[in-house]
Structure 1
Amino acid sequence: MSIKRLQAGPRMSQAVIHNNTVYLAGQVAIDAPGKSVTEQTKNILDRIDALLAEAGTDKTKLLSATIWLTDMRFFNEMNAVWDAWVAQGNTPARACVESNLATPDFWVEIGVVAAV
């Protein structure tokens, strides 16, 4: 049983690959704190694209996604970016919930699981 960890730190790894599946940690807009939900979502999806590429896969192989919003009023704004990004015909199972996040500068967090 092989397990590969990408960008492993003392608390967590950004991605873990096991049995041809990659599990990404929840991603926040590290490059866009405090910016609009649109900008944060774009930044997060860019980060997800990069991590999936590092794992040897891409968004066409998404299996599931979990999205956390600090306020459901952001749902349509986030979805506008998501819908433009997600691979049509290859959409994952998805959940979107309202939740507090680690810092008040982030309004969106997204975690995904994909096949490798």
Structure 2
Amino acid sequence: MLPISRFPGAPGRAQTTVWNGMVFTVATADTYDLDMRKQAAEALAKLDHQLAAAGTDKSRLLSVTVYITDMALKPQMNEVWLGWVDQDNPPQRACIGASLEDSDLIEIVAVAATKD
């Protein structure tokens, strides 16, 4: 049986899970008084850190789902995304309007392959 590695997150949830060469992770901004560009940049920086902790990086992303509280803010998120994403290895990406906790404007759910 293959082991499952879980990295702590909020109570009752793992922030990152690694299983069978796959990384499943979720990132949000930690600061709630930011605008979309700042929250997106903070969430993507956290995603970089989580991927590295799991032994991979954004070049290995397979799929990303971005949840946004206000789809009118999607162009601002896209500006940050295009500056962050590995242009040679872009993942499949979907953006979905959603109600999020607290003052989150964005939540990013990602699936990546490990490097081994």
Residue aligned with 2:28, SS: coil
CA RMSD of aligned residues (A): 1.1
Are 1:3 and 2:4 matched, yes or no?
yes
Distance in 2, matches of 1:74 and 1:92, equals 21
Q: What is the aligned partner in structure 2 of residue 53 from structure 1?
A: 52
Aligned residues: 113
Q: 2 CA distance for matches of 1:9 and 1:96?
A: 23
Q: Counterpart of 2:107 in 1: which secondary structure?
A: strand
Give the CA deviation at 1:88: 0.6
2:72 counterpart residue number: 73
Give structure 2 stretches of 5+ with no counterpart: none
Indicate whether 1:16 and 2:17 are aligned: yes
* TM-score, normalization by structure 1: 0.93
Q: Structure 1 residue 28: deviation in Å?
A: 1.3
1:16-58 C-alpha deviation (Å, 9 max, x unpaired): 0001000003x2111x212110000000001000000000000
Moved more, 4-13 or 16-25: 4-13
What displacement does 1:9 show?
5.3
* Structure 2 Cα separation of the partners of residues 72 and 8 of structure 1: 27
Q: Please give the TM-score of this superposition, normalised by the length of structure 2.
A: 0.93
Query: Could you tell me how far apart the structure 1 residues matched to 2:95 and 2:82 are?
Result: 14
Structure 2: how far apart are the matches of 1:68 and 1:6?
22
Measure the CA separation in 2 of the matches of 1:106 and 1:10.
18
Aligned match of 1:114? 112
